[in-house]
Structure 1
Amino acid sequence: MPKGQFNDLLWFLAVAEERSFTRAAAKLGIAQSTLSHTIKRLETQMGIRLLTRTTRNVVPTEAGERLRQTLAPRVEEIEAEIALLTELRDKPAGTIRITLSDHALQSYVWPKLRPVLLEYPAIKLELNIDNGFRNIVEEGFDAGVRLGESVEKDMIAVRIGPDWRLVAVASPGYLKMHPAPGHPEELIGHNCINHRHLRAGGLYAWEFEKDGQDLRVRVDGQLAFNSSHAMIDAALNGYGIAYIPEDTVVQHIAAGDLVQILDDWSPFFAGYFIYYPSRRQNLPAFRVIVDALRYAG
């Protein structure tokens, strides 16, 4: 490999992943013209076009995509090994990226990690809220948080919270105008506040269970959100029935601002787990995060 070509490959990888010379140049801290010239030189040296440039974006060619897939995991391994050198420092350091839902963040992750960041100021934390499922390896995350039933088998998984359930709630004002349903199928006639969930392929079908009978109900209504907090606000303001994690509305129920319905139909779900590839577990900063989140039972 000619001297300096390794850097050229790293710059190519940045463009291929960002799909933009502008974003890649900003990420690398170099001029866009310098980056463009370097990629052209690399393509000339290799004798093959690696990127297709359009007016709107940059897309790897077949050869470019093959090179990206070859480079990415090896660069990640090098970065992981370099990060291990932080063990020589007094305290763990580095950036940890985690993808998770808003409920997992607010109820389990952020409350436990607040004191950690004060104790370890050299640890940087990026928490990406996404209610869909992300490929953490391909998308550059160190870990993800999901319900136990949804974690891939090839990942290491550590429980971070107890089992929990969704509960159906509505405001007293809404129930005064619309009598509470006694059975999940009666939700069809109600204005329900939907939850857009990528895993469900769109709108989440509400899951119920009683006496061994599993039931899924596709509800309809005026509103749909991908945030449980917005759903709670809509329910509090009388827009309909919401199906919400119980811990997020227990205070509203106790205060009488929301009324719980269909309680005997609300099943428990396996609690949240943080999951990650095996090579992440040896990074000092990552071990601090996992240990802080670990559920003691």
Structure 2
Amino acid sequence: MKQNFTVRQGALDGVEAFLSVARHRNFRKAAAELKVTPSAMSQAIRTLEARIGAALFIRTTRSVGLTEAGERFLSRAGPAFEELVAASEVARDLGQRPTGLLRLSVPPSVVPILLEPLIASFCQAYPEIELEIVASGELVDLAAEGFDAGIRPGEFVAADMIAVRLTPPLPFVVVGSPDYLRQRNVPQRIEDLRSHACLRMRRSNGSIAPWPFVDGNKSVEAIVSGPLIAHDYPTLLGAAMQGAGLAQVPQPLASVPVADGRLQEVLRSFAVTLPGLFLYYPGKRQVLPKLRAFIDHVRHRGDAEARA
């Protein structure tokens, strides 16, 4: 049967005073070390002894010694108090400079778009931070799963999260290989997709995502079909480059293969622009320096690319 344990209020009061007196074997020296009066030190020890229910010191006019209870208390309380002090120093260190383990939950498609270009530079700039990237399409509970933050497209960030924009809005483009498009008519209208092999994405909730477009001032969601269903954009993009069909992916993901001719964009006039990528984390809590360093690093790189 599971037991519930609680720390009584004030259970640690007087422990530091006890340890100081035990170390110096002198109330006045202990009081001077802790910058309190000797009478306050004596009162703290009396209160601790009363709470424990046993005398901890043998006091005479000439010396101070430990009782058996005091010796046993010292053997357990001393190391425990040192651990508490060390724990406080570690926590304070994490709150004052970029250090520690930074865990990010990201969808697989974000890795090549945003993270791969800056992982090396971030690790070099902040050698005391351990960066852990968990690529998954699942929308995880950050606190329950032990993540510092997540990165997701803006439309998937919950309203109760603090969201920091990492990229400008992203065009969502349809691409196909030159070989594939030579074998079929290049689609000119959204309706033309009915006669094409469209590579589709399965969402984390199990549904297959329709393809979003804009037709004038109207938003359109096209229900498409094709030979492949994947759970991430890089897989769809790779299949499109091999001629399996058309894929709809974030434009930055396709920019290199489009530029070198491995892919061609189609239906450009109907391309929809999505909100972009955001880093998000639970609201109403301080951003630790390790997370602030990551946010600033991403933004600095984005600003440098914009100037270039």
TM-score (norm 2): 0.64
Q: Which amino acid aligns with 1:289?
A: F
Query: Aligned in 2, Cα 1:198/1:279: closer, same or farther, shift over 3 Å?
Result: same
2:263 corresponds, among 258, 277, 283, to 258
Give the whole-Å Cα distance in 2 for the aligned partners of 1:260 and 1:127. Answer: 31
Structure 1 CA distance for aligned equivalents of residues 95 and 197 of structure 2: 59
- Map 1:88-107 onto structure 2 (within 5 A): 91-107=97-113
- How many angstroms apart in 2 are the aligned matches of 1:287 and 1:251? 30
Which whole-Å CA distance do the structure 2 matches of 1:250 and 1:97 have between them?
28
Q: Does 1:121 align with 2:127?
A: yes
Residue 206 in 1 paired to residue 196 in 2? Answer: no
Judge conservation of contact 2:105–2:136 (CA < 8 Å) in 1.
Answer: yes
| 1:108 lines up with 2:114 in the alignment | yes
CA contact (8 A) 2:94 2:100 kept: no
Match of 1:274 among 273, 279, 285: 279
What is the DSSP-based 3-state SS (H/G/I as helix, E as strand, rest coil) of the residue aligned with 2:109? Answer: helix
CA distance in 1, matches of 2:135, 2:88: 28
Secondary structure in structure 1 of the residue aligned to 2:130 = strand
- Gapped regions of structure 1 (runs ≥ 5): 7-79
- Computing the radius of gyration from Cα coordinates, the structure with the larger value is 2
Q: 2:184 maps to what in 1?
A: 178
Report the count of equivalent residues: 220
The percent identity for this pair of structures is 31
Q: Residue 141 of structure 1 aligns with which residue?
A: 147
Structure 1 pair 165–224 and aligned structure 2 pair: CA distance change class (3 A): same
Distance in 2 separating the partners of 1:87 and 1:252 = 42
Which structure 2 residue ranges, 5 or more long, are not aligned? 7-86
CA-to-partner distance for each residue in 1:109-162, whole Å, 9 max, x for gaps? 342342121122221111111223222122221111122233222211111111
Task: Tell me, yes or no, if the aligned pair for 1:113 and 1:292 is still in contact at 8 Å.
Answer: no
Does the CA-based 8 Å contact 2:112-2:253 persist in structure 1? Answer: no
- Shift of the 259–117 alpha-carbon distance from structure 1 to 2, 3 Å rule, reads same
Equivalent residue number for residue 75 of structure 1 = none
Q: Name 1:86's counterpart in structure 2.
A: 93
CA RMSD, aligned part only?
Answer: 2.6
1:82 Cα offset (Å): 7.1
1:221 aligns with 2:244: no
- Residue type at the aligned position of 1:252: P
Q: 1:142 to 1:189 in 2, by over 3 A?
A: same
- Aligned counterpart for 2:248 among listed residues 243, 251, 256: 243
Q: Residue 230 in 1 paired to residue 198 in 2?
A: no
Residues 281, 172 of structure 1: alpha-carbon distance in 2 compared, 3 angstrom cutoff: same
Q: Which 10-residue stretch deviates more, 190-199 or 265-274?
A: 190-199
